[in-house]
Amino acid sequence: MTDNHQPETVTIVGAGITGLAAAWKIQQLSPQTRITVLESSDRVGGVLQTKHIDGYLVEQSADMFTCQPPTALELCRELGLEDQLLTTAEPKDKAFVGLGGKVVPVPAGFSLMVPSQEDSIRSWPLLSESGKQRLLDEVNVAARDYNGNGDADEDFASFAIRRFGQEAFDALIQPLVSGIYSADPKMLSMNATMSRFVEMEKEHGSLIAAVKQKATSSDAKASGARYNLFRSPAQGFGSLVSALVGDLKNVEIQSGRQVREISTAASRWQIALEDTAIESEAVIVATPADVSARLLKSFESLSGELSGIKSTSCAIVVMGIDRSELPKDFDGFGIIYPHIDEGKTIAISFASNKFSGRAPEGKLLLRFFIGGAMQESLVDLPDDELTGIALDQFETSLGVRPNADFTEVFRWKNAMPQYHVGHLDRVGRIEQRVSQIPGLELAGKSYRGVGIPACVASGFASAERIFGK
C-alpha cells in the first residue's frame, strides 16, 4: 500500500512457503492485523513435504537450501531451528557427469560454467582435445558489445556456447544448469537466472579472467554445485513448515479452500470461494503465475502478463537400496546427465550421501529426476515405467540393477516456472501494474527467484509493501 493506512485484515492466497512467510512477516510488522491464509489443497507447505518410510526420511521436492542469500537461514534462526540444520558431508568427489555409459567427476574447480583449474580441464575424459582447448580459450573470446545491445537479454545456450564452445556446453555446462532449472537452454534467460556471469563478461571481458581475480582456495577445490553453502533441516522440510505454522499466533489457515476469483468492490477486496466470499482490506496472491492469472482475470492487462509466465513439470522417483549395491569406487552426491546422452533422467541425487539421517544404517536413499522442459511428457508415464527408467539409468551408469527396499513416485505438475528470455521485463511490467492496484501484492517463485530463500524473501517483501515498510 502506498499510503500510511495499516490494514486491519489481510488475506493470503496460497499456503506454500511463500504465503506462510508472508503471514509470519505481517505478524511481526502488525500483530493486531487479522490474517487469513487460504490453501486449495488439504495441506500447507506447498511442494515442501517430508515423508518417513521404513526409517528413510524422504523429501518430496527440495532437500536443501542455500545460505546465499541468507533469508531462509535467518528464518530458521528466528524459528529456533538453526541448531537443527545439517551441513553437507565431504565425499571425495561431489558431482558427477554421466555420458556415454561413463560416470566421471565434474572437473575440480568448475563452478556451473566457469573453470578455475586448467589441469582439471586438460585431464577431463569427456571432452575432446579441441573441446578442452575451446573451453579454455574463452579468455580470448571477444565480449559481447553491450554498449550496442544495451541490456538486451540473451538465452543461456547462446551465451554459454558463445563463451565456451558447443562441446563444453553439451557435455558439461548444460547438465549442470539444467539440474537447477529443468529448462530449455535455448529459452532460459541469462538476466533472470545467471546475471552474475553477464556482469563478469561486461566488467572483465572474460568469465575465466573474472574468476581468476576473485579466486579463493575453497573456490579452487569446489566443483559443480557449491555444496558447502547448503543446509537442510535434520527432520526434513516438513519440520520447517510445522515450526513456521506453529509460530503464527494471529493467523487463520483454511485448507481445502478453492479460490475462484479475486476482485474489488467498494474499495475492499472480494475473495470468491466455491460457497462463499471473504472481504479483506489487502490481499497477497502467493500462487503460481498461471493460477494468479486466472484468479485476477478481472484485471485484464495484469492477467495477460501473468499468463505469459510458463511452467514445466517434473517427476521424482525415490528409492532405498542397500549401500552394498553401490560400487565401492563411487563416492558422491549425484550424477547429472547431458541432454545429448539421449537418456530420460535429468539427474540422480544420492540424498543420504549429502545429509545424515536420511537412510537407515547400511542403506542408501536415491532420488531420480525425470521430465523438465525438455522431456515433460515423461512425467505422465505410469509409476512402474518411471521406476523402470530410474533403474535402467542406475544400471547403465553404475553397472548394477539394485533391489529397492521401496520406491515412491512424486509428480509436480507445472510446479517449476520457466524464466524465458525477457522474463525480467515481463516481471517489471507486472510489478508496475500491481503498484497501481492498492492493497494487492503478488509473491512466489514465478517472479524473481525459484529457490527456498527467494520464496521466503518474496513473501517477506510482499508483506513489507502492504505495510509500507
Q: Residue 144 gets which letter from DSSP?
A: P
Average of per-residue pLDDT values in the chain: 94
Question: If 0-12 CB within 10 Å is exposed, 13-18 middle and 19+ buried, where does residue 445 land?
Answer: buried
User: Matching CATH topology for 64-91+311-417 and 108-215?
Assistant: no
Q: What is the pLDDT of residue 1?
A: 52
The arithmetic mean of pLDDT across residues 98-102, rounded, is 95
Q: Are strands 56-59 and 50-53 parallel, antiparallel or unpaired?
A: antiparallel
d(C-alpha 369, C-alpha 180), whole Å: 11
- What pLDDT, on a 0 to 100 scale, did the predictor assign at position 91? 63
Q: How far is CA 385 from CA 16, 103, 214, 382, in A?
A: 30, 24, 46, 5
Mean predicted confidence (pLDDT) in 9-16: 98
- Letter for the amino acid at 225? A
CATH 1.20.950.20 holds for 108-215: no
pLDDT for 5 equals 73
220: left (phi over 0), alpha (psi -120 to 50) or beta: alpha
Task: Quote the CA–CA distance of 389 and 378 in Å, as a whole number.
Answer: 10
CA distances (Å), origin 62, targets 171, 183, 233, 410:
25, 17, 11, 12
Burial of 442 (0-12, 13-18, 19+ CB in 10 A): buried
Bridge-based pairing state of the strands 259-265 and 251-255: unpaired
Residue 2 scores a pLDDT above 50: no
The confidence score (pLDDT) of residue 92 equals 65
- The pLDDT of residue 61 is above 90: yes
Task: Find, among 231, 262, 459, the residue nearest to 356 by Cα.
Answer: 231
The three-state secondary structure class of 375 is coil
Given a cut of 80, whether residue 256 has pLDDT beyond it is yes
Whether the bond between 69 and the residue before it is cis, its omega within 30 degrees of 0, is yes
pLDDT tens per residue, range 126-172: 999 999 999 999 999 999 988 776 679 999 999 999 999 999 999 99
pLDDT at 468: 85
Give me the DSSP letters along 72-98.
Answer: HHHHHHHTT-GGGEEEP---S--EEEE
User: What pLDDT is attached to residue 329?
Assistant: 76
- What's phi and psi for 233, nearest 5 deg? -65, 135
Q: How far apart are CA 308 and CA 468, in angstroms?
A: 29
Find out whether 201 and 208 touch, Cβ atoms under 8 Å.
no
* Class of domain 9-45+236-310+419-466 as given by CATH: alpha beta
Query: Partners of 412 in the beta sheet?
Result: 314
Q: Give the model confidence (pLDDT) of 191-229 as tens digits.
A: 999 999 999 999 999 999 999 988 754 454 555 456 678
**Model confidence at 239: pLDDT above 80:** yes
Give the bridge partners for 273, in sequence order: 259
Cα separation, 232 vs 63, whole angstroms: 6
Alpha-carbon gap, residue 459 to 311, rounded angstroms:
20
**Diameter of the chain measured on Cα atoms:** 70
Q: Bin 150: left if φ > 0, else alpha if -120 < ψ < 50, else beta.
A: left
What is the tens place of the pLDDT at every residue in 366-411? 999 999 999 999 999 999 999 999 999 999 999 999 999 999 999 9
Distance CA 70, CA 75 (A): 9
In this predicted model, what pLDDT tens digit does every residue of 325-362 receive, in sequence order?
A: 988 778 899 999 999 999 999 999 999 999 999 999 99
* CA 252 from centroid of its chain's CA atoms: 28
Burial of 373-386, coded b for 16+ CB within 10 Å and e otherwise, reads: bbbbebbebeeeeb
Q: What is the bridge-based pairing of β-strands 406-417 and 282-285?
A: unpaired
Q: What percent of the chain has pLDDT over 70?
A: 95
Residue type, 438: P
Contact 88, 224 (CB under 8 A): no
Cα 403 to Cα 328, 347, 406, distances in angstroms? 17, 20, 9
Residue range 64-81: average pLDDT?
97
Give the pLDDT of residue 327. Answer: 85
Q: Where are the domains of the chain?
A: 9-45+236-310+419-466, 64-91+311-417, 108-215
Task: Work out the average pLDDT over 83-106.
Answer: 90
What pLDDT shows up at residue 217? 43
The residues near 137 (Cβ < 8 Å, ≥ 6 apart) are 165
Indicate whether 96 pLDDT > 90: yes
pLDDT at 267: 85
Q: Stretch 307-314: mean pLDDT, rounded?
A: 98
**What is the crossing angle of helices 452-466 and 71-78, to 10°?**
70
Residue 1 corresponds to which cell in the numbers above?
500500500
The end-to-end CA distance of the chain, in Å, is 10
Name the H helices within 79-165: 118-122, 129-136, 146-149, 156-164
Q: Name which of 139, 156, 157, 138 is nearest 195 in CA terms.
A: 156
Whole-model pTM? 0.94
Percent of the chain with pLDDT over 90: 87
pLDDT(53) > 60: yes
**Fold of the CATH domain 64-91+311-417:** Polyamine Oxidase; Chain A, domain 2 (3.90.660)
Radius of gyration of the chain, Cα coordinates, nearest whole angstrom: 23
Report whether pLDDT(308) > 90: yes
pLDDT in tens, 108-126: 999 899 999 999 999 999 9
C-alpha 469/C-alpha 467 separation (Å) is: 6
